[in-house]
Structure 1
Amino acid sequence: MKHQITLLAVPGAQLLDISGPLDVFAEANRQLQRRVYQLSVMALEQRTVVCSSGVQLLADLCLDDASLHRADTFLLAGAPDASERQLSAAQQAAVVTLCQQSQRYGSVCSGALLLAQTGLLNGKKVTTHWACAEQLAAMLPDARVEADALYVADGPLRTAAGVTSGLDLALRLVEEDLGSEVAQAVAANLVMFFQRPVNQGHFMRKQQISLGGRSALQAMQRWALAHLAEIDGVEDLAAHMNLSTRHLARVFAEEMQMQPGAWLEQARIEKARALLESGELPLKAIPAACGYRSPDVMRRAFIRLTGTTPSLYRRLFRAAAEKA
């Protein structure tokens, strides 16, 4: 079996979006001691691609050569400025041809924003970096954008979430092609999870509103973040602003497009995450410090918002710190 893997790297591409998946496929070759995967990097116009880090990458070919190239798996790598880059009509047509001729096609990270320009994601189930998910959903009103997922498959389409998720995507492709045993050996040698115990929600760091202003809502939020342990619920937030709970809900809906209860839950979980990462409190003391009346209530909320348990979250960060 010979399988051609081709990654399209636009100017300013993130190097790990390219090198990460390619190293997974290269490791599969090493594990089998034969060249199952043939690996190529494709540039848009000039073969020298200056990545977002400033590193210069020499591509094997350019998109202009697409008519002479056939990929079994074709992927578009992401770039920090992908949302601002517009592929020309000719470039879009060439990408469509490469995708349609391949067995599988897709994107890594914000590469989904580029692939979306071709129309190939319309009506599909997809993912991308969590920070780009809303923009991708706006571009694809009839698609199902799964902002929490690390990796999504829909027919021949494969999309990965942010940056290092490209490794997860490549590992799943190796598993599809060569089986679980080879994929697990690849993961072990690259010191990566065969299946990560968390989803993309584990990494989301959204700040729904600036806390640096002087509005009454922002002042209340600053107060709430400093007093989470003493706040019982939305009623306390409303009382602090001298509003009814119904009026507070209207203010949140207008200013933040969310409900005050959801904001309070996210604030509690963000504090729990910070305490779990710092290790400054024992696990059993964290629920009360965040305003939860029982560990079980916090555990259910933590799983719902991060995809993992508080104890596993702490173990993961402790293990990472020890390796560092």
Structure 2
Amino acid sequence: MNHHLAILAVPGAQLLDVSGPLDVFAEANRLLNRTVYQLQVMSLEGASIRCSSGVRLMADVTLQDIQQTDTFLIAGAPEARDMQLTARQTARLIELCHESQRFGSICTGALLLAQTGLLSGKKVTTHWACADALVEQVPDAQVEADALYIADGRLRTAAGVTSGLDLALRLVEEDLGRELAQDIAANLVMFFQRPVNQGHFVRKQQLSLGGRSAFQEMQRWALANLAQVNSLDDLAAHMQISTRHLARLFRQHMDLQAGNWLENARIDQARKLLEAGSMPLKAIPAACGYRSNDVLRRAFVKVTGMTPSMYRKMFLKT
């Protein structure tokens, strides 16, 4: 087997989106003591690619010159949402995807791949911060904002940055089996299958709390008194307004359901307490305003993909 794999690195590419997956495939070659994966870095044009870090990559081949690939991936770039491929580049990408056994993207590379139209009707993922942008770009795609990687037919997409390594491991597992993929994960000191999804890493955006409006003051009060906040009625009472009017304010100022904001606030508080490691697990639910350990556990798993005890084990300071 000789599998030709190429990663397109556009100007401003995130270096880890390129180097991370390549190291996974290179480790497969090393462990097998033969070249299973023939690896190439591809540029849109020219021999040099300046990455977002300022580091320059030397391309092995350009988009127009490459002859064929078995697997073709597009790496992400922080400014990918503002990049517009030319008609010629888009046409060549479409040809390359059709010719490849597998094709896909890493991180925000999905926003570039979307310009080909090949994500239409597909189940895909990208970096959580760009999921909404991908939905706008491809309304009929099923964008899974929490997923680390997704396979849909010949299409493979990975979420933010380091999840490119997760995707590469899955591809090795497809090609060469689980045992080799597990050996690679062990050698690279990474999870073979991470016990998290993207929701674990999301830090929710919220209205700045530095202002003096009554709405912002209520938020500051709620965050400081989550243990005493039993429901949205308490937030409304603090502002001396109805719960219905409170819901309107959240929609108007944050485009968010009031209940979702309160749930996010409780989970963020739980994360901080778990990361600090000083409070007993059994005391954390009450400190965040949850009625019981079971209620916190269900909410925490829904948002992060892991239990509070698993989270503490991963983030406990040593």
* 1:284, distance to aligned residue in structure 2 (A): 1.5
- Residue 74 of structure 1 aligns to a residue in which SS? strand
* 1:215, distance to aligned residue in structure 2 (A): 2.2
* 1:300, distance to aligned residue in structure 2 (A): 0.8
Once residues 29 and 261 of structure 2 are traced to their aligned partners in structure 1, the CA distance between those partners, rounded to angstroms, is 48
**In the alignment, what sits opposite 2:53?**
53
Q: 2:84 aligns with which of 78, 81, 86?
A: 86
Once residues 161 and 209 of structure 2 are traced to their aligned partners in structure 1, the CA distance between those partners, rounded to angstroms, is 29
User: Which ranges of 4 or more aligned residues in structure 1 deviate by more than 4 Å?
Assistant: none
* 1:217, distance to aligned residue in structure 2 (A): 1.5
Output the TM-score relative to the length of structure 2: 0.98
Once residues 77 and 215 of structure 1 are traced to their aligned partners in structure 2, the CA distance between those partners, rounded to angstroms, is 43
1:129-278 pair list within 5 angstroms: 129-278=127-276
* 1:312, distance to aligned residue in structure 2 (A): 0.1
- Show CA shifts across 1:106-156 (max 9, x none): 000000000001111111100000000000011111010000000001000
**In the alignment, what sits opposite 1:294?**
292
**In the alignment, what sits opposite 1:106?**
104
- Residue 54 of structure 1 aligns to a residue in which SS? coil
* 1:212, distance to aligned residue in structure 2 (A): 2.0
- Which 10-residue stretch deviates more, 243-252 or 118-127? 243-252
- Which 10-residue stretch deviates more, 120-129 or 204-213? 204-213
Unaligned runs of 5+ in 2: none
Once residues 247 and 289 of structure 1 are traced to their aligned partners in structure 2, the CA distance between those partners, rounded to angstroms, is 27
**In the alignment, what sits opposite 1:316?**
314
Q: Does 1:10 align with 2:10?
A: yes
Alignment coverage as a number of residue pairs: 318
* 1:258, distance to aligned residue in structure 2 (A): 2.0
* 1:267, distance to aligned residue in structure 2 (A): 0.1
Q: Does 1:127 align with 2:125?
A: yes
Q: Residue type matched to 1:14 in 2? A: Q
Once residues 29 and 302 of structure 1 are traced to their aligned partners in structure 2, the CA distance between those partners, rounded to angstroms, is 39
- Which 10-residue stretch deviates more, 24-33 or 127-136? 24-33
* 1:291, distance to aligned residue in structure 2 (A): 1.1
Output the TM-score relative to the length of structure 1: 0.96
* 1:262, distance to aligned residue in structure 2 (A): 1.2
* 1:213, distance to aligned residue in structure 2 (A): 2.1
Unaligned runs of 5+ in 1: none
Q: Residue type matched to 1:34 in 2? A: R
* 1:64, distance to aligned residue in structure 2 (A): 2.3
Once residues 79 and 267 of structure 1 are traced to their aligned partners in structure 2, the CA distance between those partners, rounded to angstroms, is 30
* 1:311, distance to aligned residue in structure 2 (A): 0.3
- Residue 38 of structure 1 aligns to a residue in which SS? strand
- Show CA shifts across 1:151-196 (max 9, x none): 0010000000000000000000000000111111111111111111
Once residues 316 and 287 of structure 1 are traced to their aligned partners in structure 2, the CA distance between those partners, rounded to angstroms, is 19
* 1:26, distance to aligned residue in structure 2 (A): 0.5
**In the alignment, what sits opposite 1:76?**
74
**In the alignment, what sits opposite 2:21?**
21
Once residues 65 and 213 of structure 2 are traced to their aligned partners in structure 1, the CA distance between those partners, rounded to angstroms, is 56
- Which 10-residue stretch deviates more, 252-261 or 46-55? 252-261
* 1:317, distance to aligned residue in structure 2 (A): 1.1
Percent identity of paired positions between Structure 1 and Structure 2:
70
* 1:243, distance to aligned residue in structure 2 (A): 0.9
Q: Residue type matched to 2:176 in 1? A: L
* 1:227, distance to aligned residue in structure 2 (A): 0.7
| Conserved? CA contact 2:204–2:264, under 8 Å | no
